[in-house]
Amino acid sequence: MPDSQFSSAQSARQALAGRLQEIRLDAGLSARALSTAAGWHEAKTSRIEHAKQQPSEADLRAWCCVCSAEKLIPELIAELRAVNSMWLDWRRAERNGLKHLNVSVRDIYERTRQFRSYCQSMIPGLLQTPEYTTAVLASLRERRQVQVDDVASAVAERMDRQHVLYEGDHRFAFVLELAALRYQVGGPEVLTGQLRHLLDVMQLASVSLGIIPTSVDRTPRWPVEDFYIFDNKQANVELVSGFLTITHPREIAMYAESFAALSKLAVYGSRARRLITAALAELPD
């Protein structure tokens, strides 16, 4: 991950680097002395302390042992794993198939009371039909060269997750670009079923569905990457190379502000239904 591209992850990396430098200084060791005792080049110590290189768990153990701070090893390893979880590249996330990642996020969907989602070109997972989800995941598996074929079980997991739309005290706000209604994921028959499902699910008391028309003035806010906000505790962003988890309050607030601005561009209720119906009418019988 580029050093300055995602500030939540980078801030966490810098905080860990700062702790390691403090541990070395508290032990009264120079960078050269620590490096010599740990058995690596001094440049590595410098890179770690300046958050230019991510330490491994073995590096943390060696660092703490050299500094007589063994009691900090479990805490620092936990911190390192938390940093790593902020950025998850698709190759690592999907090395054992697609179901595992879908299962891992079920808990946060069930705990969240206010869910906000913005999507440019796809129908979000909570609103998808089984056929649409199958087309999406099969395409992802082929594109990312996932060796394990567990598409069917991943689809079942996503469908089961949708129970939150109908149960409990949850509120869901979705904002879609109009293009999401027209891209033929799975072909016209699959998209027809998906759009009809949208017409049904948008009537749920727990769901707000807004669609941004192409005719609206985009000067105030243009399209951005797909993102999801879970209460005000976490935001997730899906990128070409991986999955970003944001927990820093300032950054979550930025995504919340973007969602609010995009929401103002959208139409709702009968106007949104007309856009969906128009997209349906364009599809072959």
Per-residue pLDDT of the chain (285 residues), as tens digits, is: 443 345 667 778 888 999 999 999 999 999 999 999 999 999 999 999 999 999 999 999 999 999 999 999 998 987 887 777 788 788 888 889 999 989 989 999 999 999 999 999 999 999 999 999 999 999 999 999 999 999 999 999 999 999 999 999 999 999 999 999 999 999 999 999 999 999 999 999 999 999 999 999 999 899 999 999 999 989 999 888 888 888 778 888 999 999 999 999 999 999 999 999 999 999 997
pLDDT score at 285 = 78
Q: For residue 55, which of 93, 23, 95 has the smallest C-alpha distance?
A: 23
- The pTM (predicted TM-score) of the whole model is 0.79
Span(s) in the chain for CATH 1.10.260.40: 7-87
The fold for domain 94-281 equals Endonuclease; Chain A (3.30.870)
Residue with structure tokens 């997991």?
Answer: 157
Strands 242-246 and 87-89: antiparallel
pLDDT score at 8 = 64
Name the H helices within the chain. 7-26, 31-38, 42-49, 57-66, 73-86, 90-93, 99-104, 106-111, 130-143, 151-161, 188-201, 249-265, 269-281
pLDDT score at 3 = 39
Domain 7-87 has CATH 2.40.170.20: no
Q: For residue 6, which of 220, 265, 238 has the smallest C-alpha distance?
A: 238
Q: For residue 240, which of 89, 85, 83, 87 has the smallest C-alpha distance?
A: 89
Span(s) in the chain for CATH 3.30.870.10: 94-281
How far apart CA 213 and CA 115 sit, in angstroms, is: 22
Burial class of residue 193 (count of CB atoms within 10 Å of its CB; 0-12, 13-18, 19+): middle
pLDDT score at 1 = 40
148, 97 Cβ separation under 8 angstroms: yes
Report which secondary-structure segment, H or E, holds 95.
none
pLDDT score at 79 = 81
Burial class of residue 169 (count of CB atoms within 10 Å of its CB; 0-12, 13-18, 19+): exposed
